[in-house]
Amino acid sequence: MEVGESSGARLSEEEIWAKLVPPDSRYSEVNIRSDEILVCSEIRSSSADKQEWCKISRNSDLCTATMQNVSSHTILVNETVVHDEDTIVIKCGTEIIPGPDREGYLSYRFKVMPSPEICKKKLNISVDVEHAKCSICLNIWHDVVTVAPCLHNFCNGCFSEWLRRSQEKHSSVLCPQCRAVVQFVGRNHFLHNIAEDILETDSSLKRSDEEVALLDCYAMIRSNLVIRSGKSLPRKRAHLLVDEESDDIDLPCPQCGTELEGFHCNQNTVHLQCQACGGMMPSRTDISVPQHCLGCDRAFCGAYWNAQRLTRSNFHPVCSSETFKPISDCSISRIPEAVHEKNQHEQDITKRCIIRMGRTLQDVVSDWIAKFNNREIDRTRMPLNHAEMITAATYFCNDCYDKLVSFLLYWFRISIPKDLLPPDASKREDCWYGYACRTQHHNEDHARKRNHVCRPTRGINM
């Protein structure tokens, strides 16, 4: 604890967060800097003698304090008598008389300083240092930049170097942390301050001056920047990565500025971001081609740009029409990973059944899509949105198509009489927990010895 002197008595690096303000300028203000002080000041109106008369401790809400009377007589706080050693909560505006009576004693006002600077300094935000590290160099961020849309953070120098190398080799820049396509990068001033504070608190985390200088010379992100994709950027443009002063306007999508199929975007056009490539497309209500996958409600651009007769762009990511098309147009050559709850023994049995029937996976899936389209299949357990609205003509993303195939292959397997399964499979008993069994995921032997393509008869309410 420190002893709080009247104003001017000492200089502290800590800022004044509150004051005890006397009735007039004949007496001095008590500046409160630390979180707990013993106040020593004038208490009587007739004497300049200073006495220790109270302790003030800042409360965790940062705007109130707890005052303890240490004067050996009572004091008055907002007309309330506070006995020796007792405490009372005070807040901005509280009147404090450091004696038993108004007569003969000063009256102080407790004043909390409004400066946001102080709030910033004093707010004890706890940050896990591990969360303030760059995943490229594993140090605390230096000149931190944030990439979008995934919002991961890196040192400016580290990410700039990554960006330079990516653009030499690839048509798009992927986030070094999560591999999402990076569309924008900008310096993050808020996180910069946090990183600075961390280094101030723990200087062992600081890097050497040489390292910092090296990072700074790699750093090329000066202002927010839109990253264009496209290998065949003209040479000059490819080097205009950081075009703060350039007149070049960054347009979100191929139809901003260029008319395609009688449409171009204007300032009011809302853009959707494609889940597959990260590129933008205008949100359209005047066309019939879907821009969202019905199974997952996510936006995909493949069908849209196909309808706008755009197959590629030098400056924007564009998906091929293969990535988003009607279910009936999709083709399949291998069993998706998720089939039969990822139980590979069951997948193998299904494969062998198809071969024994002299058919292909594509034949079977097409048959079952037809049955599905004719509403011959119960859709209640189908793991897709808008299950009742889906038809063979519905546009699906690849993930949703795989989910649909998994669902249909379950029904295909269920439809095969047990004695027509390969002999090793037909002899097995059903697992009580059926497809919902968890043991099949970690116990090979169990996964193989029991049939898991069946309904649970235990464990869950069916």
Restricting to residues 81-140, which ones interact with Zn ion according to CB under 5 A? 134, 136-137
Give whole-number Cα distances, 397 to 206, 255, 349, 374, in Å. Answer: 47, 23, 27, 22
299 makes contact with Zn ion (CB under 5 A): no
Size of the site for Zn ion (CB under 5 A): 32
Helical H runs in 76-171? 116-122, 156-169
If one asks whether residue 77 binds Zn ion (CB under 5 A), the answer comes out as no
Taking the complex as a whole, the smallest distance from the CB of residue 429 to Zn ion amounts, in Å, to 10
Q: In what order do the strands lie in the sheet with 144-148?
A: 153-155, 144-148, 184-187, 225-226
Residue 155 near Zn ion by CB under 5 A: yes
| Cβ atoms < 10 Å from Cβ of 441 | 12
Q: Classify each residue of 411-430 as buried b or exposed e, where b means 16 or more C-beta atoms within 10 Å of its C-beta.
A: bbbeebeeeebeeebeebeb
Q: Is 199 in the site for Zn ion (CB under 5 A)?
A: no
Q: How far is CA 101 from CA 56, 83, 190, 460, in A?
A: 21, 13, 50, 74
CB-based contact 396:372 (threshold 8 Å): no
Pairwise CA distance, residues 179 & 50, whole Å: 66
Q: Does 255 bind Zn ion (CB under 5 A)?
A: yes
CB of 344 to Zn ion, least distance (A): 14
Q: Does 178 bind Zn ion (CB under 5 A)?
A: yes
The tokens for 301 are 């651009």
Dihedral angle over CA of 86, 90, 96, 100, nearest 10 = -20
Rounded to a whole number of angstroms, the minimum distance from the CB of residue 197 to Zn ion is 18
| Residue of 33, 111, 152, 192 that binds Zn ion (CB under 5 A) | 152
Distance CA 206, CA 198 (A): 9
Name which position in 163, 353, 400, 405 contacts Zn ion (CB under 5 A).
400
Residues in CB range of 26: below 8 A, 6 or more apart: none
Sign of dihedral through CA atoms 137, 138, 142, 146?
Answer: positive
Q: How many CB atoms lie within 10 A of CB 397?
A: 24
Query: Which residue, 83 or 170, is less far from Zn ion as judged by CB?
Result: 170
Interacting span for Zn ion (CB under 5 A) from 43-51, 76-84, 281-289, 347-355: 281-289
Q: Find the shortest distance in angstroms from Cβ 435 to Zn ion.
A: 9
User: Around Cβ 44, how many Cβ atoms within 10 Å?
Assistant: 13
Tell me: does residue 173 bind Zn ion (CB under 5 A): no
Minimum gap (Å) between residue 411 Cβ and Zn ion: 20
Interaction between residue 293 and Zn ion (CB under 5 A): yes
Q: Choose one: 84-92, 202-210, 300-308, 334-342; the region binding Zn ion (CB under 5 A).
A: 300-308
Q: Which residues contact 310 (CB under 8 A, 6 or more apart)?
A: 254, 260, 318
Candidates 29-37, 97-105, 151-159, 191-199; binding stretch for Zn ion (CB under 5 A) = 151-159
Q: How far apart are CA 4 and CA 231, in angstroms?
A: 67
- Is 175 one of the binding residues for Zn ion (CB under 5 A)? yes
Among residue numbers 412 through 451, which ones bind Zn ion (CB under 5 A)? 431, 437, 439-440, 450
Give the relative orientation of helices 398-415 and 361-373 as an angle to the nearest 10 degrees: 90
- What's the rounded Cα separation, in Å, for the pair 208 and 206? 7
Binding of residue 354 to Zn ion (CB under 5 A):
no
- Does residue 256 belong to the site contacting Zn ion (CB under 5 A)? yes
Nearest distance in Å: CB 295, Zn ion: 4
Q: Give yes or no for residue 253 binding Zn ion (CB under 5 A).
A: yes
Q: Does 265 contact Zn ion by CB under 5 A?
A: yes
Stretch that binds Zn ion, among 34-42, 51-59, 168-176, 349-357 (CB under 5 A): 168-176
Locus of tokens 């230096």: 142
Query: Closest by alpha carbon to 56, among 107, 84, 18?
Result: 18
Question: Which among 3-11, 199-207, 314-322, 371-379 is the span making contact with Zn ion, rule CB under 5 A?
Answer: 314-322
Asked if residue 150 binds Zn ion (CB under 5 A), the reply is: yes
Does 195 participate in binding Zn ion (rule CB under 5 A)?
Answer: no
Q: Is 353 in the site for Zn ion (CB under 5 A)?
A: no
- Candidates 23-31, 80-88, 197-205, 276-284: pick the segment binding Zn ion (CB under 5 A): 276-284
Cβ count within 10 A of residue 90:
22
Which H or E run includes 24? none
- Which of 226, 277, 409, 421 binds Zn ion (CB under 5 A)? It is 277
Examine residue 212 and tell whether it contacts Zn ion (CB under 5 A): no
| 280-282 and 324-326 strand pairing | unpaired
Q: Is 214 in the site for Zn ion (CB under 5 A)?
A: no
| Interface segment toward Zn ion; rule CB under 5 A; list 70-78, 199-207, 233-241, 254-262 | 254-262
| Closest CB 405 distance from Zn ion, rounded Å | 13
Q: Find the binder of Zn ion among 21, 38, 70, 296 (CB under 5 A).
A: 296
Residues near Zn ion (CB under 5 A) are 134, 136-137, 150, 152, 155, 158, 175, 177-178, 180, 253, 255-256, 265, 274, 276-277, 279, 282, 293, 295-296, 301, 319, 397, 400, 431, 437, 439-440, 450
